[in-house]
Amino acid sequence: MSLSRLNQYRIMWVMVFFDLPTNTKRERKQASLFRKRLLKDGFSMFQYSIYMRHCPSKENSNVHIKRVKSFLPPEGHIVIMQITDKQFGMIEIFYSKQPESKPVMHQQLSMF
């Protein structure tokens, strides 16, 4: 596997931001199902309504974006964003004004 396949500009992160209504039992069930489907597709919770997934390439990230679009709930506000591994590495995280260590970035290798 060449180094060009695993560089910080080729590896992508897919982030899903959402604000879903939870006023009725049906809405709570739909919101819960959406989160469960994100987890089933390999996303991890970054913050309460922000889930993210590491992808080895833009092509792979497009597959997961298409999958998320296939199970969007009928109501609510959902944003899907892709960033490179280089951009993700520049994230600053704070907890009560104290910098936190960056999340562990897993290296995922693909065998074709």
Q: For the chain, what are the domain ranges? A: 3-99
Q: How confident is the model at residue 105, as a pLDDT?
A: 63
pLDDT tens, position by position, 46-83: 999 999 999 999 999 999 999 999 999 999 999 999 99
Segment 7-16 mean pLDDT? 89
Entry pTM: 0.79
> What burial letters (b/e) apply to 68-82, b meaning 16+ CB within 10 Å?
beeeebeebeeeeee
Contact 13, 76 (CB under 8 A): no
pLDDT at 4 over 60: no
**Least confident stretch, 36-45, 47-56, 83-92:** 83-92
Segment 2-12 mean pLDDT? 70
Q: How confident is the model at residue 103, as a pLDDT?
A: 66
Distance CA 45, CA 52 (A): 6
Q: How confident is the model at residue 1 (pLDDT cuts 50, 70, 90)?
A: very low
- CATH code, 3-99: 3.30.70.240
What is the DSSP track for 27-93?
A: HHHHHHHHHHHHHHTT-EEEETTEEEEEESSHHHHHHHHHHHHHT--SSSEEEEEEEEHHHHTT---
